[in-house]
Structures are given as C-alpha cells and as structure tokens.
Structure 1
Amino acid sequence: MQHSKQLYEKGIIKNRKMLTQSQYADYKFVCRLDHIKTFYASIKSICFSEFGTLQVSEDGLLITVEQGKSIQATLFIAPAFFSEFYVQDSPSFSIQINVLAECLSLFGLADCSIKMMYKGDGAPLLILLEPHDDEDVSTECAIRTTNVEEPIEYELDPNSSSLNTLFMRGPDFSNIIHELDKAAEEYEFTISPLAPHFKIATVGVMQAESSVEVAKSSDMIILFNCRETTVAHYKSQQIRMTNKALQVATKVAIKTDASGLLELHFMMQSENVEEMYVRFFITPLLDNK
C-alpha cells in the first residue's frame, strides 16, 4: 500500500494479549468488534470527504463526515454492538476517514476482529486486526489524530406539524434510485397525505423528467406518517453520495418538513443481528419550491 510507512507504525502496543480491563485506565477509549464486515461497509459508505470526527460516550460511537454545509453523514454504533466497549471522559478527535477504511481492508475479504484504542489528546488511534482464519497473523496500525472540529448540528423539529416520516425496505428504495435518470441535475422529493403519497422526480440537463411514485399502501412502505405535503429539491450529486450506504441497508427512514431539510437513516444489520445506523442530512437547494 502506498505511504504505508507513514500511515502505520509497528510495535505501538507491547504485549497486546496481556492488555486487561484493569489496564484500560491508561486509555480514554477501547472497543472490540468480533466481525468487521458491517463496520467496514459503513465506513466506506461515508468516505466522501477527507476527515471524519469521532465522538465517544457511554451512549456509543459517533463518526461524522461533512462536505461544506450541504451534506453530513453520521455513523452511530451502540455499545451493545461491541464485544468490548470502554470509555472515559467522552473523547472527541478527527482522523482521515479514508485511512481508516484502508486499515480495515488490509486483509481483503477475510473476516477479522478489530480492537480500537485511544489514549487521549495527541495520541494516535490504534487499531489491531486479527483474521479469524489464521491465528498466527495480525496487524497493528496507528492513525494520526487531530483536534476535533465540531460538526454542524442539524435537527428536524419532532413537534413540527409538517414533519413527515416514512420507512421503506432498503432494497426497494435502492431500486427506485437506480431507476431514475442518472444524468439528472436535481431530485424533487414529494411526500403527501394525498396520492401518490411518495414521489421522486428528476430534472436532467435538457429538462427531461423522470419520476417514480409509491403509494402508502405499497409493500415497499413499512411505515407512512404524513400530515402535510412537503416538496423540496436537492442536488442529484448529494443523493448519489448515499449510494454506498443504501446498497447495504436493510431499511431506510426518510424524514423531512417544510424547511426542506432531508434526513435519511440507513439501518445495517450485522452478523450478530445488532444494527448500526448511518444518518445523512441533506440541505435543499435555495430555490426550493
């Protein structure tokens, strides 16, 4: 791998097999996943910007990536998802998110366990990977961390009369996006209590339009909660940035209100049936109608 000498340092942790719960006092954050497949897919789904912010608390791990003020993605992993999870002082730091993805792929498609460890300000994020099919092989990575830049806080008002929410099966929503014109410049999302209930329309370079409509009674819809019609436009590039998350999502939650702010939740199921979530916030175009 290019630049491997700069990205990975060997021998950071001495006697890794001797690290016990009592020794965690030296660390602000320690976690272990027995399988990395779902975690790796989730990290790849948010690699659209250079840096990601990691925020750890007793509620779990948040990894946030932003591009300007137009799109934000946050991966949330609850403590129950981990086989080990230890945190103190709720640390926050930033890393190059693509470097984390490269570390996770060092053994290719082989199933691995992963342990992540962080001592505090200025310390690297340590990663230990151990393939399940070869107990004599492991690798150790150290990813440089930087001071955290607080992510933008987006939020839809849960008490708004215009807040609309629908849940769809992930493969169904993926098929809808796949059917739309890939040359489109804009996507128009309409959610309404009246038919067709949920509609996505596109506008292409030559103003050619295509659309897909889904009735709330469709088998694709798991939940439909809509009180007011909302219509908003988004850059198609923003929507396409969610494709990697969508490809592995089992369920998708779609939320928006009169402001046009779009919230997408992608639920991903792991080998042990626990779920992790990737949430996107996408801001509407200024000429939102």
Structure 2
Amino acid sequence: MLFSAEISDFRTVHNVLRSISLKDYVILRPTEEGLKFTLEEMKSVEISAYVPRSIFSHYRIEENQDIVFKISMKVLTECLNIFGDDGNPSVKLSYKSIGDPLCLIIKHSEENITVDCEIKTMNVDDSPDVSLAEECNLNKVVVNASILTEVLQRLDNAAEELSIEINPEPPHFILTTTGIAGESKVNIPRHSDSITIFQCKEKCLWKYAFSNVRQILKVMNYASKVAILQFRLFQWETGLLGLQLVINSDDKQMYVEYYVTSLFAED
C-alpha cells in the first residue's frame, strides 16, 4: 500500500475542494506532511490546497516513494458529497500501487451505511513539485479574509482588469479595477485594523485579469486570513500575484495557495 489515510469529518475539506474546482482534473500528491491538491491552467494560474496530516486520524505513506497521480475533480467531489449535508460521515482513502484506482470508503456513522468508491487514476507527465512562487519574494501583506472578500466584491465585477499596488509610501495598498464603466479604487493604509503584516521592499504595480482573481472568492469565504504576495518573474519580466489562505477546521488548519501571472508591469 503506497498511501492510506482516514478523516472523521471531511466537511471543511470537501467545501474547499469544491470551491477550487476550476478544472476537470486535479493532481494529487501525498507527502509526509499531508495531501496536496493542485490545479493548473496554461502555466498562468495555479491553485493548490494543502491538507496537513494532523487533520487525519490516520495517515500513512510508503517511505522513499514519490507518489503523484491525476484524478477527476468532479468525481472526487461528488463522491465526498454522496451523503450531502446529512450526518457526519468519515472517509478512508487508499492507493495501493501505481496505476491502481484511488479507493474511498465513506461511512455514515449515524445510519451505519458504507459506500465504496473507486476513482480512476492517471499518470502525470512532467510534474515536478515546484510552485510558480519559487521566485524572488518582493512584498507581503496579510489581511483579514472577510474584509478582502468584501472589497473585491464591491469593486466593479464587470471590469476586465484589476491592478494591485503595494507601496512603502501612503496609501500603501491599492486595489483598482478598470472597465467600461470607468475606474473603481480602494486604498487601505498599512496601519488599518484589517492588515496584520505589511512588508514592502519596493513599490510594485501590476495588472491582472479580474476574472482570474475572482476565481478565488469562493474559497476565500472559508478563510480567516489571506497573505497577499508579490513576486517578480524575471524570465518573463512580469509580476506574479500570490494569495495564501488559512482555513480553520475545528482546532486545526488547512491552506490554499493561488498564483496568477500579471498582464503586464507598470512603472
């Protein structure tokens, strides 16, 4: 058995996975630290959900094995939702060997009903465990997730572009949308109650497709705080936006990282 795990209450995990279901297939990588789910779109958008092994009641991985495979995200989330919101089901996961299906045993504790599922796995071609963010980290802002969600929802949703500026000088953190209706702007000073960390090495202003950024709003509803990171991708002379979300599950935490490349840079 290459990998096996059990979680007694996977409601939060299911909600997070369902909210990041942006693509048909997800790359699943069991590691010593826990499970990593990754979706990627044309190397311009990358989203990963981390479920630490501390969330599982049982977690075992074969030593010295690099385990990675691809499965249908739709099938996975539908299996996890087989009992809907009824009861408090548990799930056991197992992956016997390369090429075998991912097996799920989902048990409804109150009704004593057990459902066995097998999800076809596929090999992953050329998938090193490397994030888009392995670049020079320029700036970092940690902000209250509910505040950031509210700000993004209040901006012009019809706008095509969102510019994000982090500046050592006031007003420090600026979000601006540009569309047919004109320009909408929100300024947040570094000493705002909604900001807990503000680190700025240099002023950076990059624009992003607003549709890409809006993709993260669903999962942001489950987060307590968000770290906003700016990176410079030297090989493309452009900017990378990183959003790292902390999601509480009882007294434990899981994490989501979202990276999107900019449209172009501005001085």
TM-score, scaled to structure 1:
0.85
Measured in 2, the distance between the counterparts of 1:212 and 1:280 equals 22
Give the corresponding residue for 2:236.
none
Within 1, Cα distance between the matches of 2:134 and 2:170?
24
Q: CA deviation at 1:156?
A: 4.3
CA distance, structure 1, for counterparts of residue 145 and residue 26 of structure 2: 25
**Contact persistence 1:44–1:244 (CA under 8 A):** no
Establish whether residue 283 from structure 1 lines up as the match of residue 258 from structure 2.
no
2:52 is aligned with 1:113: no
Q: Which stretch shows the higher mean deviation, 143-152 or 54-63?
A: 143-152
Give the corresponding residue for 2:135.
157
Q: Residue 26 of structure 2 aligns with which residue? A: 52
1:268 corresponds to 2:247: yes
For these two proteins, the number of residue pairs brought into alignment is 256
Structure having the larger proportion of residues in strand? 2
1:143 aligned residue: 119
Letter in 2 for 1:235: A
User: CA RMSD, aligned part only?
Assistant: 1.4
CA contact (8 A) 2:133 2:231 kept: no
Structure 1 residue aligned with 2:153, among 152, 162, 178?
A: 178
- Say if 1:70 and 1:205 are closer, same or farther in 2 by CA, change over 3 A: farther
Q: C-alpha separation between the residues in 1 aligned to 2:76 and 2:228?
A: 28
Q: Deviations over 1:96-124 (max 9, x none)?
A: 11111111111111221111111121111
Residue type at the aligned position of 1:181? D
Q: Which runs of 5+ in 1 are unaligned?
A: 1-26
Report matched runs for 1:1-289 at 5 Å. 27-88=1-62, 89-110=65-86, 111-134=88-111, 136-149=112-125, 150=127, 153-157=131-135, 163-206=138-181, 208-259=182-233, 260-271=239-250, 273-285=251-263, 287-289=264-266
Rg larger in structure: 1
Distance 1:249 1:270 in 2: 10
Letter aligned with residue 269 of structure 1: N
What is the one-letter code of the residue matched to 2:257? R
Structure 2 unaligned blocks of 5 or more: 234-238
Distance 1:211 1:156, change over 3 A: farther
1:91·1:120 contact (CA, 8 Å) conserved in 2? Answer: no
Letter in 1 for 2:258: F
Shift of 1:57: 1.6
Mapped to 2, the partners of 1:125 and 1:42 lie a distance apart of 19
1:131, 1:138 within 8 Å by CA — same for their partners in 2?
Answer: yes
Q: Is the 8 A contact 1:28 1:90 kept in 2?
A: no
In 2: Cα distance, 1:234 partner to 1:38 partner = 29
Once residues 284 and 237 of structure 1 are traced to their aligned partners in structure 2, the CA distance between those partners, rounded to angstroms, is: 12
Query: In structure 2, what residue type is equivalent to 1:148?
Result: V
Amino acid at match of 1:120: S
Percent identity over the alignment is 30
Contact kept? 1:52, 1:65, Cα under 8 Å: yes
Give 1:266 shift.
1.1
Residue deviations 1:175-216 (CA, integer Å, cap 9, x gap): 11111101000000001111111111001135x110111111
